[in-house]
Every structure is written in C-alpha cells, then in structure tokens.
Structure 1
Amino acid sequence: MAMAAATGTVVLVDAALAPYEHPDLRWLVRKHVLAVLQDFPTLSPSVDTYTSDSGASAVLLNARGLLTVSPALPPVLLTLWLPLEYPYLPPLVYVFPAAPPASLARDHPFVDHRTGRVRQTLPYLEDWAVPRSSVAGLVRSLVGALRMCHPLTSRFGSVVHATATARATTTTTPTPEEEEQERMHAALLDELVSRLGRDAAAFRGHVDEDIHALSSSQGNLRARADAMDRAVRDLEGERMRLERAVTASLSHRGELLSWLHKTSCAPDDAGAALLLAPHGAAGGDAPRWLESKASELAMDDTVDALGRALEDGERVIGFHEYIKRVKVLAREQFFHCYAASTSMSKRSPPPDATSPLI
C-alpha cells in the first residue's frame, strides 16, 4: 500500500514538472520534493494555480499540510509553491493558522501577517543557492525559526507557557533532542543578532551619506537663492531706470510736438506777399523761392506725419528713430528756409527805396 502511494506521488511529481524551465534538473527537483515529503509526512503534493501579487498566474507544484513546530506549540498550516525557475529561485512559502479563530501576529520578523508569506529575512531563504539548498532544509530552518518566534497571536502564549511549565515540572533532565533544539535556538539567535547588527551599520552608513548629500544640496540651493535675489534686485533697479527714461522721453516728446504744432500753424506773410506779387516784381529768383518754400512746407508735413506715427505707438516708429528723422528734416528745412530768405533778399528794391526823391 505504501509502495503504491509512493509510486503515485512520483508520477504526480513527474507530471507536474513537465512545464518547468530546466528539464535537465528535473531529477534534482524530484529528489527535493520526495525528500521533504519523506522528512515531513504531514505534507502532501498537489498541482494548483498560483496567482502572484502582480496578477500573473501559473500552474505550479506545491506541498501543503500541517507543520508541527514544537509539541508545546500549536501547529500551523504550511504551503510550499515551487516556481517554474526552481531550483534557481527558492520556493514560495506561506504560513497560516491551522484553527479558524487563530490569527497571525503583527510585526513578526519572518511572516507577513496580511498575506501569510514567509519573508526573505529568513536566513535560509536569503542565502538560497544551488545545489546546497533544498526544500527539506528550508522547512527545517523554518521550524527552528518559528519555534523561537511563533507566528500566532499572543493569546496562545498562556497555553504555551503553561505547557512548558508542566513539562519543566515533570522533566528535570533535558533530552538530547531538547539540547539540540536549544543549540539550534542559540545559533539562530546569534545569526539574527549578527544580521541585525550588519543591517543597522549599513543603514547608518546610508543615513550618513544621505545627510551629507542633503547638506550639500541645501548649500547649493542657498547659493542659488542668493544669486536669484541679487538678479531680482538688479532687474528691479533696471526697471525703475527705464521707467524714468520713458517718462523723460514722453516729456520731451510733448514739448517737441507742441513746438512743431506752433511752427506748422504760423502764417508766412512774406511768402504770401511774394506769391501775390506780379511775376516781374521778384525777378528771376521767384521760382527758386517757390521751390524752397514748397520744400520747407513739405518738411513740416513730414514732421507732422512722424508725430502722428509716434503717437500710434512703437509698433509704427520708435522714439529714437523719430528723433533721428526729425533732426535730418530740421536740417534740410533750415537750408530750404535759408534759400528762400536769400531769394527774397535778392529781389529788386522798391522804387521808394532806390529812386532819388523828386
């Protein structure tokens, strides 16, 4: 009967290992599974669908059953899932309470109380390597760790303590198995203390590095803030200087426009008299005077047009361009005005100024 059960187990394991990624190592996987089933007869193999935290699912070989941590402690329900990459990846181990009222303890060093998964902090899982690591060795290490720190809640502590006290009163001499368990407890405790010390030292070193990096970043940020404050102050001073320059330019523009308006509206009696005079009164300089006077008036019209363009804003003409053109026009207007006045001075004098008195 036992031979038939063993044969059925081997057939089940061989069929379940068909989709695994390392066909050359199926013999090693079969050896590990049969060894853990032999060392822990309460476990039984099966094939089920495993769903990871990311939502991916796969059909995996697993072994589950009650695991007795210690005669004085209540058993737990253990489930071992062999990933498709086994033996290069360790098994996925889950621990659950065997009785429904029980629950997992919070802040357990090895078991997550929300999912029941055994963390990588278990030394055997953390140091998993091929070919020295196996499923049976993992379960033995888990038994020792859970015996030292049981995953169930503290309400089972009174029962455990009472059982241990009863055993202590009835048994005075420790058995070799208990001595071996005590030595295993001491070794696990020393290993945990050393790992905690190394982790604390590494964490302290990382904290010091982070503090130094943050201090350097804080100094750089302060220097940048000072530079930005200086730049803002400089820009504010430049803005005030530009405002004063614009105010002065607008004042000069108003004065210039007022002068141009007065100049363009002033009557020219001499020119009108010359235009009304007969052709022979001015002699041969009349055409020159007319041309100069026309050019002078054209300059006035051009300056008025520039003034209107400046009033429309700098989209048409800028202030500096306006001043430049006005200077050129004023210079040309001066020459035309001078030519006109010269032409008027060259006219023949009136008879009462040149003829002798009779």
Structure 2
Amino acid sequence: MATTTAATGTVVLVDAALAPYEHPDLRWLVRKHVLAVLQDFPTLSPSVDTYTSDSGASTVLLNARGLLTVSSALPPVLLTLWLPREYPYLPPLAYVFPAAPSSASLSLARDHPFVDHRTGRVRRTLPYLEDWAVPRFSLAGLVRSLVGALRMCHPLTPRFGSVVVHATTTTPVEEEQERMRTALLDELVSRLGRDTSAFRGHVDEDIHAMYSIQGSLRERADAMDRAVRDLEDERMRLERAVTASLSHRGKLLAWLHKTSSRVPDAGAAPPLAPHAAAGDAPRWLESKASELAVDDTVDALGHALEDGDLISLQEYIKRVKVLAREQFFHCHAASTSMSSKVTK
C-alpha cells in the first residue's frame, strides 16, 4: 500500500513538473521515460529544482538524482539527470559527482573522456548522447550506457595527499578498471577485425562492379567515337555534294544567261527580210513567242530553285533539259522559216 502511494505521488510530481514543458503532446512519453528510469534504477528519485546554465540563465526543471553503482568493486557516483524544456528532442543533461562519503578523498579525473572534471557534466562524446534520437533513446538507456562507460573508465580519482591512506582501497578499483579495459580492448579488436574483413569484402565487390561499369562505359565511348566519325564522313560527303551541285547550278545559270542574252527583246520584233512572204510572218512570230515563253519558264524555275523548298535541283535540271530541247526546236523553226524565204 505504501509502495502504491509513493508511485502515485511520483506520477503527480512528474505531471506537475511537466506542465510548463514545450511539447504538451509528448508529456506522456516524457512521463514514461521518467517512470522507467526510476523503476530500473531505484536509487534515483525525481525532484524539481532550479537549473543554472553556463550562460547564467536559470530555469526550473524536472530532474532525477541519486547514487549510481557502477560496479561492486568501484565506488558509486552521484548522478543527476536534468530534463530540458525541449526534451525529448534535446537530450538530457547528465552530471556526475563523487558521492558524499567519499567526496573528501576522491575527485573527478582531469583527463576523463566522458566527464568534465570542472563541472561534472557528461560530455556529448558519450555515444548515447552524441547519437540521441527520438523515440529510440530514453533516460533508462542513457543511464545504462553511462554505467558501461564509467565501468570501463571510472571518473573518480584519489585527491592529492590521500594516496597513501587509501592505497589499499584504490587497488581493487585499479584492478577492476584494468580488467575491464583489457576485456573491452579485446572485444574492440575482435569487432574491428570482423568489421575490417566485412568492409574489405564490400570494397572488393565495389571494385569489381566499378571495373565492369568502366568496361561498359569504354565500349559505349568507342561506339560513340565511331558514330561521330561516321557522321563527320557523312557531313564531308554532303558538303562535297552541295559544292558540286552549286557548281553545276552556276554553270547552268551562266549558260541560261548566255543563251537568253542572244534572244532579241520580245517587244521589238526582228526585221523581216524584204522578200519575206506574208504567209511566213505568222509562223515566225509563233515560233519566236514559244521560244520566249520557254525563257520565262526557265526564269520561273530558277526562282523556285532559289527558294529552296518549291523544287529540287534534280527536278530543276530535268525540266530545264526538256525546255531547252523544246526551245531549240522553236528557234530552229523560226530560223528555217526566215532562211527559206531568203533563198527564194
């Protein structure tokens, strides 16, 4: 009955202390963490006190304080866990001090890897605090991790002037520390060996995978080089074809210009021979008109070729050949009609 009453009083105290905390939706989780650490470590008890930070700011915080037994052969330490207002998103603040009966002869070690000898605060170098994450970590897990770390390297050391008096009492401590260090070093070496072997195996697999990828990339690079060379050859061939086509076009235009310059103006009819009969004039005019019509058609085809998308060069040459042949016959018919009358 007394135990139930004490537990109820603890819950009431914790709930009252969590009222000003910043995350009201997570008060149930904070209460669960506090009750769990009090259950796992009965020497700790909750309280509400004023916490003064390094900057001098004071805040009323919930804390759990009590003696923490690290090992049966090692002296206990006084542990205080402060819960900041941002808990559980911020890790708790842990402080370690010598217990009251042995505080006169023991002090915090200056070169301890986890505890600051000036303030007693547990540093963030403790792996559990360094990797703090919600909701995987808790107060009970922090205390268990701290017990393992302090068992490996105890934070208390004899004060100057008391070494001889307590030499017999510190010998078991040193023996326990040496034994724990040896066991932990052996475990660490074995784990490092296993991790090194596993890592080396993964590295070998990654190297083989990278080699295969490198070979595939080289094949792709060779294929791309061949494709680029083929495209370059095709570009040179097309440039030569375009140059040849432009040369033929220039020659054809020169020939057309030379041919059209020999044709008399359409508006001025050539003088008829004085002896030309009246019946030969219509035939000559018809042949001459057909010849000039062919010139206009060739000019239209030339403009269409210059536009680029109305007619192709092959179609242009084909039609010009046909029109040139037709123009030749019209010119021959006109000249024949004139010469026949002159001979008469």
Counterparts of 1:267 and 1:319, CA distance in 2 = 25
Which residue does 2:247 correspond to in 1? 251
Counterparts of 1:195 and 1:36, CA distance in 2 = 29
Letter in 1 for 2:149: A
Which residue does 1:148 correspond to in 2? 152
Which residue does 1:332 correspond to in 2? 326
Which residue does 2:261 correspond to in 1? 265
Which residue does 2:118 correspond to in 1? none
Q: Is the 8 A contact 2:290 2:327 kept in 1?
A: yes
Counterparts of 1:197 and 1:314, CA distance in 2 = 77
Which residue does 2:167 correspond to in 1? 170
Identity across aligned pairs (percent)? 61
Counterparts of 2:259 and 2:78, CA distance in 1 = 111
Aligned length: 308
1:322 and 2:316 are equivalent in the alignment: yes
Which residue does 1:199 correspond to in 2? 195
Q: Is the 8 A contact 2:33 2:139 kept in 1?
A: no
Question: What secondary structure, in the 3-state scheme, does the structure 1 residue paired with 2:127 have?
Answer: coil
Counterpart among 206, 210, 232 of residue 210 in structure 1: 206
Q: Is the 8 A contact 1:289 1:340 kept in 2?
A: yes
Cα RMSD, aligned residues only:
5.7
Which residue does 2:127 correspond to in 1? 119
* Deviation of 1:136 (Å): 4.3
Question: What secondary structure, in the 3-state scheme, does the structure 2 residue paired with 1:171 have?
Answer: helix
* Deviation of 1:162 (Å): 9.2
Counterparts of 2:169 and 2:113, CA distance in 1 = 32
Q: Is the 8 A contact 2:44 2:65 kept in 1?
A: no
Q: Is the 8 A contact 1:293 1:340 kept in 2?
A: yes
Normalised TM-score (structure 2): 0.61
Which residue does 1:12 correspond to in 2? 13
Counterparts of 1:76 and 1:296, CA distance in 2 = 123
Gaps of 5+ in 2: 52-60, 98-106, 115-122
Gaps of 5+ in 1: 49-59, 107-114, 152-158, 354-358
Q: Is the 8 A contact 2:152 2:177 kept in 1?
A: no
Which residue does 1:233 correspond to in 2? 229
* Deviation of 1:222 (Å): 1.2
Which residue does 1:35 correspond to in 2? 39
1:298 and 2:316 are equivalent in the alignment: no
Question: What secondary structure, in the 3-state scheme, does the structure 2 residue paired with 1:116 have?
Answer: coil
Q: Is the 8 A contact 2:67 2:79 kept in 1?
A: yes
Counterparts of 2:44 and 2:273, CA distance in 1 = 139
Letter in 2 for 1:301: D
Q: Deviations over 1:212-253 (max 9, x none)?
A: 232222112211211121122112222222222222222222
